[in-house]
Amino acid sequence: MSYQNFSLKQLQEIDAGHHLHPFTDHKELRAVGSRMIVRADGPYIYDSEGNEILDGMAGLWCVNAGYGRTELAEAAYEQMKELPYYNSFFKCSTPTPVLLSKKLAEIAPANMNQVFYGSSGSEANDTALRVVRRYWALEGKPRKNRIISRKMAYHGSTIAGASLGGMSHMHEQLGGAVPNIVHVMPPYSFELAEPGESEHDFGIRAARAVEDAILEAGAENVAAFIGEPIMGAGGVKIPPESYWPEIQRICRKYDVLLMLDEVITGYGRTGEWFAAQAMGIEADTITTAKALTSGYQPLSALFIGDRIARTLIDKGGEFFHGYTYSGHPVACAVALKNLEIIEREGLVDRVRSDTGPYFRKTLMERLSGHPIVGQVRTVGLLGAIEIVADKETRERFQPSGSAAVKVRDHAIAQGLMMRATDDTMILSPPLIWTRETIDIAAARIERALDLAAADLG
Ligand code: PLP
């Protein structure tokens, strides 16, 4: 059945009638109808009306190798012909997760030598939570099970993922979160720094909120701290340089494990394979997904550091945990080919040495002076633009979030897909963007900001 036999209106009606979308108000969706994305190539997506849109979000932070990679389709096809599925339970394995694990251990930080697969970042974080709690239980400290996270963090949508995350609107709908998870302030200086407080001092203060939470609970009750190296869905919040070293010091001092969520930052976005390497963070677990396959197949990989792995393996016996699709042969074949492409084309190095710095320079030069821009910040090919009504006082437009939605809608009409989170515009483009693509994107954002500013009076 080809979608081409249906008009856009028919597809929208069926969509509104039967398809529940993630994070969507369906009454609103029914009123406007979905934008139907029908194909994609390189850095572009195309909708059913033939509009070509530069994808500033790499899908949902995942299509790092860009669209139209026939090599990835061929890798999936070949694997499906040979062995479409077999599980990795009951002392069985299949070759592609074996080879992928070897590759991942090579590119990950030195202490990350074990990988557990799932199909999504949420599943990987569920696994991470179970793993750290099991670790402490096996070490004879079952009460050391509290997790410290941050407000505004996003760690997924399963009950454990949403409980680990710090989105208050998600917690309100949970009907009971996973117990013993607490949330402290995020390292978001743009809104939370005191007047006159330096970035350095703010970073230390934000990290000390974790120490306060440990002291309040008693270190003997705290299993781990979890954090995205750069908070993504919460608004690309880049912490001050002082933040992570202080977190590391605190975790070591109280023997609290460090869980990194690199579902967005993993696989090149920051200019290193992992943000842990770019930012010098030594973690005990690292959650990854999304760009592992550039989104061509659903796959997550939870790295488990040597310290935890030794205990799980030597003392743990069977760990009663696993997913039907753990180590899915097709997803792993695609991941292997995807990493090969990223490596062959030098995309990670290019972000570090060329496109990342150029992205920063261009956005800073062209956008930071705009009357409704309060701040531009970037790391690698990850960027945020704060929308404000007043540059000096950082006062926002009201109602909260409305101005950013206007900028986003104008940007899409100009041919650039970007995202609005509260009052922050977000960019997370494919790593194949060149200097020229960055120039095109910046011009479209500039125009979208002008048009939104005119609307806002
Ligand atoms: N962790 C982070 C940092 C994410 O950004 C996301 C998704 O955006 C997740 C976890 C959840 O991943 P998934 O949507 O694949 O379950």
What pLDDT shows up at residue 457?
84
Q: Which atom of ligand 1 is nearest to the CA of 261?
A: 3
Q: Classify the phi-psi angles of 343: left when phi > 0, otherwise alpha if psi is within -120 to 50, otherwise beta.
A: alpha
What is the 156 CA–ligand 1 centroid distance (Å)?
Answer: 5
Q: From edge to edge, which strands make up the β-sheet containing 416-417?
A: 37-41, 44-47, 52-55, 416-417
Smallest CA separation from ligand 1 atom 10, residue: 155
Residue 356 has which token pair? 């990342």
Question: Which amino acid belongs to residue 294?
Answer: S
Is 45 in contact with 53 (CB distance < 8 Å)? yes
- Other CB atoms within 10 A of residue 295 CB: 23
Is 40 in contact with 68 (CB distance < 8 Å)? yes
What is the 322 CA–ligand 1 centroid distance (Å)?
Answer: 19
Q: Which atom of ligand 1 is nearest to the CA of 153?
A: 3
Pocket of ligand 1 (CB under 6 A): 120-122, 125, 154-156, 228, 232-233, 261, 263-264, 289
Instruction: Find, among 79, 49, 457, 102, the residue nearest to 297 by Cα.
Output: 79
What is the 210 CA–ligand 1 centroid distance (Å)?
Answer: 22
- Residue from 163, 290, 297, 382 whose mutation best tests the ligand 1 pocket (most atoms within 8 A of CB): 290
What is the 127 CA–ligand 1 centroid distance (Å)?
Answer: 13
What pLDDT shows up at residue 255?
98
Can you give the pLDDT of all 457 residues of the chain as single tens digits? 688 899 999 999 999 999 999 999 999 999 999 999 999 999 999 999 999 999 999 999 999 999 999 999 999 999 999 999 999 999 999 999 999 999 999 999 999 999 999 999 999 999 999 999 999 999 999 999 999 999 999 999 999 999 999 999 999 999 999 999 999 999 999 999 999 999 999 999 999 999 999 999 999 999 999 999 999 999 999 999 999 999 999 999 999 999 999 999 999 999 999 999 999 999 999 999 999 999 999 999 999 999 999 999 999 999 999 999 999 999 999 999 999 999 999 999 999 999 999 999 999 999 999 999 999 999 999 999 999 999 999 999 999 999 999 999 999 999 999 999 999 999 999 999 999 999 999 999 999 999 999 999 8
Helix 329-344 crosses helix 70-82 at what angle (to 10 degrees)? Answer: 150
What is the 294 CA–ligand 1 centroid distance (Å)?
Answer: 14
Domains by residue range for the chain, with CATH: 35-68+346-456 (3.90.1150.10), 71-344 (3.40.640.10)
Is 227 in contact with 247 (CB distance < 8 Å)? yes
Residue 205 has which token pair? 């203060």
- Other CB atoms within 10 A of residue 313 CB: 12
Cβ neighbours of residue 37 closer than 8 Å, sequence gap 6 or more: 45, 46, 47, 48
